[in-house]
Amino acid sequence: MKTLFIVFLLFPFSLLAQQDSIPSSLPPYILETIEDFLQNTESEGVFDFNTILETLENYFQHPLDLNKADESELQSLQLLSDAQILNFLEYQRNLGPLIALYELQSIPSFDLATIRRIQPFITLNSSIDDFQVPIGEMISGGKNELYLRWNRILEDQRGFTEIDPNTQQARYEGDPNQLYVRFKHSYSNRFSFGITAEKDRGEAFFQGSNKQGFDYYSAHLYLRNYRNWLKTLALGDFNVSFGQGLILYSGFGYGKSSVATTIKRSARTITPYTSVNEVNFMRGAAATFVPSKNLEFTVLASYKNRDGNLLEPDTTDSETAIFSLSSFDLDGLHRTQAEIADEDVVSQLTLGSSLRYKLDRGHIALNTLFDQFDKPLLRTPQPYNQFFFSGDRLFNASLDYAYRWRNVHLFGETAISDNGSIASLNGLLMSLDRAIDLAIAYRNYPKDYQALNANPFGETTGARNERGWYIGMEFRPIKNWTLTAYYDNWEHPWLRFQVDAPSRGHEYRARLTYYLKRRLRSYIEVRQEVKERNTPDNETPLNTLSTFRLFQTRLHFAYTLSKSVELRSRIDYGYAFNEVDQYQKGFVVLQDLIFRPASSPFSFTTRYALFDTDGYDIRFYHYENGLLYNFSIPAYYNKGSRFYFNLRYRPVKAFTIEGRIAQTFWSNQSSIGSSLEEIDGQVRTQVSAQIKYQF
């Protein structure tokens, strides 16, 4: 009888198909927030987000016990919105531990789509005592992974051609191959160590300026929940995140997205760093101690070299000469003599601490951060940057808090820089009823607030020269339908780069999504952004501002034909214009095919896209499947087509080999790129391959 009762309770979850392995691509929930992030930052990029998929893979093999998880652990899943996490914690507080997974259906904002999404990664009956596993067992009982990756562009680029003896044009020091090697040993989400090495295209390899081999090396050792008094220990390279990011947030922080109620920063304080971004990490040691039940104390010390533009001293006397910097280099590229000269020219020491007191329904924390450089930063004076940080040391402190009361969650952070300027971010999450979640945030970042590692929620980066209101909403009117929307209004009290006067702007987005079990997911979305910037082609003595308006709409379908075949179709249309004379419009149409047969070691994904836009102002961002743990989100603009094909071969569980080819054709261009990246032609073809071995 008891068995029949349990089967009855868990019947809704019998519909949730079990997986034999972690999906090799990120869930749509995550992909779309990253696409939105790039849309708002007006950039494009290639990402090595192995940490996101690795976290999911670890949770797949060692599911997260919901009855033991705190807010940061729920956030680390990357599969739940802030409102869902709030509702779960409040439900658990009022009714105690969950008895069965079916109870999730009783929690506001937990629809069946959400439950299906997280089900492979959660459990309620973890029997592992987190504080009893010795390090020796973590080493012998963990898993090892080795990655080898290669990438290059097939067409000749100017930087790799022979030097013209008449012009002595600069060229890249290295060859056009990009190489990546990574080894990692891990035990669940609790222990890991490894090394990562990368050589970018154009960088030397075992010669020239890189006689040591790769241009970039990274290593880490990470230990979590080893003892009751030691929550986290990190050595080597690591990420640290305090509060809402007003003084320090070195992980990836989502911004405005279609997940309109996800606005809060709540990542783990210390996490291991295994990516290839050569700037946004700490190098040294960090630890979180737990001296009592309600108290946590985090300390960090980091010392690393950074790239920068070095200014020559005014004197030729080597004993009195003082070198300084005009700016930092953030791209991590060392291909030309100029880039190589800027490599590791300044050393940065970072010391920090966080004292957090846990309340019954939240927390309050005091955070401090100190940065010192061996050379002062002296920026080239410009009207827009006169309040930016200059000098060789900077101190920041902040107070952050979070508090839950019934269906209301308050959070925020107030920070100060050593020039006395105070920045603040405060927010509210609320479930109005089972069908409506609400998010509200106000930010005030003064023009003279200075923080080198800030990454809070906002329209721009750097936590300065911005104040604004944000309101987001998620509405579930009937089964299988969800409406998300937000409105953001902001102003910049001072000048910005290429905006020569105080300016303002606003943005709205709305998305209506229909979800039918595992068969169909479709949505229609509209988005408009209005902001002020310098008037183009201005012939008057003074720069004036004009209003720039961007409108985009999207129709998306993802249909699963069978367990092996999925189709994804998307149509984008939009226009952009200003008050003067520029008007651009355009569209993108694309079709994806994902083929992953369970009975075959072969699988593939492919896309064909057509795009026709009047220029860069009306560009569209689209996620592209790449090699395992690697993907790209290029901007589609001008006129042409794009195609890619990924092939994966997995003869045994421990071994995977992959290949990828991607080609873009521009019909209205005779050349592609600029400077040393320029290709003389209309086609750019990129090929890559990767081997993964797990043992």
Between 268 and 398, residue with greater pLDDT: 398
Task: Label residue 640 left, alpha or beta by phi (over 0 means left) and psi (-120 to 50 means alpha).
Answer: left
Contact 415, 438 (CB under 8 A): no
pLDDT classification of 574: cutoffs 50, 70, 90: very high
pLDDT tens-digit profile of 53-72?
667 777 777 788 888 888 77
Res. 3: pLDDT tops 50: no
pLDDT tens-digit profile of 353-391?
999 999 888 899 999 999 999 999 988 888 999 999 999
Q: Which domain holds residue 148?
A: 2-694
Q: d(Cα 159, Cα 329) in Å, to the nearest integer? A: 20
pLDDT at 81: 77
Please list the residues that pair with 528 across neighbouring strands.
508, 551
Tell me what the pLDDT averaged over the chain comes to: 86
- Mean pLDDT for 538-544 is 76
Res. 109: pLDDT tops 90: no
pLDDT at 632: 78
Res. 652: pLDDT tops 50: yes
Res. 589: pLDDT tops 90: yes
The count of structural domains within the chain is 1
Closest CA to 115 of 93, 126, 100: 100
What tokens were used for 614?
């009047």
pLDDT tens-digit profile of 595-614?
988 889 999 999 999 999 99
What tokens were used for 616?
């860069």
Q: d(Cα 400, Cα 267) in Å, to the nearest integer? A: 14
3-state secondary structure of 532: strand
pLDDT at 49: 52
Closest CA to 605 of 50, 31, 183: 31
State the DSSP string of 228-271.
TTEEEEEEEEEEEB-TTSSSBB-S----S-SSTT-------SEE
122-123 and 64-65 strand pairing: parallel
Contact 219, 238 (CB under 8 A): no
Res. 434: pLDDT tops 90: no
CA terminus-to-terminus distance, the chain: 44
Amino acid in the structure at residue 374: D
564 Cβ contact partners less than 8 Å away, ≥ 6 residues apart: 595, 596, 597, 598
pLDDT tens-digit profile of 264-301?
887 789 999 988 888 889 999 999 999 998 999 999 99
What percent of the chain is modeled with pLDDT above 70? 88
Helices (H), 328-367: 337-341
> How many other CB atoms are there within 10 angstroms of residue 380's CB atom?
9
Q: d(Cα 668, Cα 75) in Å, to the nearest integer? A: 45
Amino acid in the structure at residue 462: G
Res. 45: pLDDT tops 80: no
3-state secondary structure of 219: strand
Least confident of 315-324, 502-511, 658-667: 315-324
Q: d(Cα 437, Cα 424) in Å, to the nearest integer? A: 24
Please list the residues that pair with 547 across neighbouring strands.
532
Residues belonging to the chain: 695
Dihedral sign for Cα 121, 122, 128, 134, please. positive
Res. 477: pLDDT tops 50: yes
Dihedral sign for Cα 50, 268, 303, 46, please. positive
